[in-house]
Amino acid sequence: MNSKMIPIETPSGTFKVWTSEQSSHPSRRLLLLHGGPGANHGYFRSFEEHISTEELSWIYYDQLGSDRSDAPDDLSLWSIERFVEEVEQVRKALGLHRDNFFLLGHSWGGILAVEYALKYQQHLKGLIISNMMASCIKYQEYADQVLGPNMDQKVLARIRELESMGMYESPEYMELLMPHHYEKHVLRKPADQWPKAVTDAFSRTNQQIYVHMQGPSEFGISGTLEKWDRFSDLNQISVPALVIGSEHDTMDPEHMRLMAGTLPKGSYLHCPEGSHLPMWDDSEVYHRGIVQFIAEADCCP
């Protein structure tokens, strides 16, 4: 492993972000953009169990504000545009370029990956959008029209009541969400069986960034990302692209299938047993699909 702290220039000064590359494949280097916003690389540790370093090289990366990277207390830094420039600076520092650079964004990282590709796709060999719809507006509609109605309505009413009172830190709030939402749509295993890599990663989420951009509710979105919508712009991304959706996700898999059809060189991978973290609950489908996509893009860009 080759760990590196990379200096990042921002409007508020210079800070450092942490990266760690797992091997040195010459033409298949995959930069991983974690979700949250404000989560960290930890839940991508599944790659170590399912992918050989001979197949590709993957790069863990904690975005500014997350885990092993600097965490300035400055709300002005938490914007899509600023994060896009951060990724570009990371690319340059790691020597990633059109002949070797694959980008995977999961959840919030998927938003960031789309935005990066729309501005800097000339540097990309391939793009992977994992478990993120191309519209937060449609994401909210899916939560309201599908996820909510399918939940026990008494439980949902109590969750909404707690949210209306701002009781997001209440033990009752999480006690309701865990069996009725998280174990059904985030990681489809009993919480006491969740991998340590996942629980550790979630426990270190930067709540300031998360609440500012995502919002405090676990049902939909209400932060600065609330109106983000790039579906109509996907046809501008001309590099090979893979969209990954899951049957039980918080995100609508049919919307993500449509995304793949809108991307000029798009393809779709469906994880039938997966939820929002298919790297853990549909591991073989998820990781083999990524390896296959990268191998094909490497051979026939």
pLDDT at 301 over 70: no
Read off the pLDDT of each residue in 77-82 and give the average, rounded to a whole number.
98
Residue 55: which pLDDT band, with cuts at 50, 70 and 90? very high
pLDDT at 186 over 80: yes
Read off the pLDDT of each residue in 140-147 and give the average, rounded to a whole number.
95
Mean model confidence pLDDT for the chain: 96
Q: Is the dihedral of CA 277, 51, 33, 169 positive or negative?
A: positive
Residue-wise pLDDT tens digits, 245-274: 999 999 999 999 999 999 999 999 999 999
Residue-wise pLDDT tens digits, 98-116: 999 999 999 999 999 999 9
Please report, rounded to a whole number, the percentage of residues in the chain having pLDDT higher than 90: 93
Residue 24: which pLDDT band, with cuts at 50, 70 and 90? confident
Catalogue the active-site residues: 107, 249, 276
pLDDT at 219: 80
Read off the pLDDT of each residue in 71-78 and give the average, rounded to a whole number.
96
Q: What angle do CA 209, 212, 215 make, to 5 degrees?
A: 110
Residue-wise pLDDT tens digits, 196-209: 999 999 999 999 99
Phi, psi of 245 (to 5 degrees): -125, 160
Which residue is associated with the tokens 């979700």? 35
Please report, as a single letter, which amino acid is at residue 104: L
pLDDT at 300: 74
**Strands of 266-271's sheet, edge to edge?**
2-10, 13-21, 57-62, 29-33, 101-106, 126-130, 241-246, 266-271
Round to whole Å and give the CA distance between 66 and 36.
10
Delineate the domains of the chain, giving CATH numbers in brackets. Answer: 2-138+224-299 (3.40.50.1820)
